[in-house]
Every structure is written in C-alpha cells, then in structure tokens.
Copies of this chain bind each other. A is one copy, B any other.
Amino acid sequence: MDTGHRRADEQGFGERIAAAGVKEPVKTYLLRCAEFHSSPAPGLLIGAFMVDYALDLLHATPDEKLFAVCETPKCLPDAPQVIAHITTGNGRLKVLPIGRFAVTVNRVSENPTAEAVRVYVDLEKIKNFPVIDKWFSNSPEFHKHTMGVALQEAIFKAGRGFLSYERVRVPVKIKEAWKPVTCPTCGETVPDYMVVDGKCGACGSMKYYEKI
C-alpha cells in the first residue's frame, strides 16, 4: 500500500464480500487479486468475476495451461494473472490497448488457432446497475470518494449480472527461435528478431531512460 491511511473502499473489504453472499472460489479470488494489485480497484473486482465466468464456460480449472487476451491494460489483466497463472512473464497473457472491458480465454492448442471464450461487460445489462454504470462510463455523476463503497457492494451483488460472452477463435502464438545479436550502440545482446534498424530498441525508438 502506498499511503499510511487506507482508502474507504479498503476498509471492510472482506466483510462486504461476505455480506454480499459472494461464493467460493470468487471470494478467495477477490481477496488475492486485491492483495496482488495493492488495492481493491473496481475493474479488478469485475475482472475476477469475468475470469471465473470464462473458466466455467471452458469447463477449465485455474491449474490448466490457459491463455488470455485482455482488451484493456487497466486493472483487468491482474485477474487472469492471479487466478489462473496467465501471466505477463510466462507469455500466456496478452494485453491489447483497445479500451474495451473484455477478456478472451483459451486452452493450450497444438493447432494454429484455438477456440476461446470472450467475456465482456454488456452495455445493455449494465444499465440495470446504475452505480456501476456511472463508474464504468466515467460519468461526472460518479464520485469516487463518496460512492466507492456503494460501487464495491454493487459489484459483489451483481456478480455476472452485467456480463455477457461469445465463443470466438484466436490465433495461437508460436515461440520464436532466436540467436543473440550484439547491439553496436550499447554493446548488450538482444534476440535477433528484436533488432530494429540494426540496433536494439533501447538505443532507438524504445529509449526510456537517461544515465545520471
């Protein structure tokens, strides 16, 4: 946690999950997600319900080898990471900066494509949950400091109530073979397929730091 005081939506977080009657395994998912993320962000909590829904639709368990695409970088990607070992570092999670609140999950496949399930926030259904709708649409009527707790309670009570899904087909990622190449500018080695214009990305368009 980054501050000494706790945010209003963190106080009584566990109690609210229980009071809303959230069942296992989602109850545990929510607690683990919030701990990992370092706050119980609304998008993350919705993400936990979404991933649980996707697993059910695939008849999959969190210990299987699964892959996911998140259509937003905001909060959602931490749910598949915490719940189902679909992580940034193990290459099973892809995040696309599309901006839709949706996650697509599939099993490992030997084929060039895999059947997947895409779970998304349904813009029609969400109208039945006014507080969630206001938060989701970034409405000026939503006030984070006074409505955070109500939003959290609404999310716990709604569960899958404003989610929908569709069956889709996704391409399967192929692991690339590589050889190390020494960047002529910085002298460090990078995989050959990551070289851009004869040098490593950090010495080109991906430069992100200055030495001090």
Contacts and interface: CB of A to CB of B under 8 A. Distances in A.
Interface of A: 1-2, 36-39, 41, 43-44, 47, 63-65, 69, 71, 73-79, 81, 85, 87-91, 93-100, 102, 104, 108, 115-116, 118, 120, 123, 137-138, 166-171, 178-180, 186-191, 194-195, 200-202, 206, 208-212
The A contact surface, by secondary structure, is loop
A178 B71 CA distance: 17
Contacts of A209: 69, 104, 116, 118, 168-170
A69 B94 CA distance: 17
Contact of A200 (B89, B98, B137): B98
A198 to B, nearest CB: 14
Nearest to A86: B38
Say how many copies of this protein the assembly contains. 2
A135 to B, nearest CB: 12
Contacts of A97: 194, 201, 206
A96 B206 CA distance: 7
A85 B189 CA distance: 29
12 contacts: A37-B85, A38-B85, A43-B89, A47-B89, A78-B87, A97-B194, A99-B189, A100-B188, A104-B208, A123-B189, A167-B212, A169-B211
A56 to B, nearest CB: 18
Contacts of A73: 88-89, 91
A129 to B, nearest CB: 16
B99 A69 contact: no
B96 A88 contact: no
A2 B169 CA distance: 21
Contacts of A78: 87-90
Given A168-B209, A188-B123, A189-B137, A77 B89 contact: yes
A22 to B, nearest CB: 20
A99 B36 contact: no
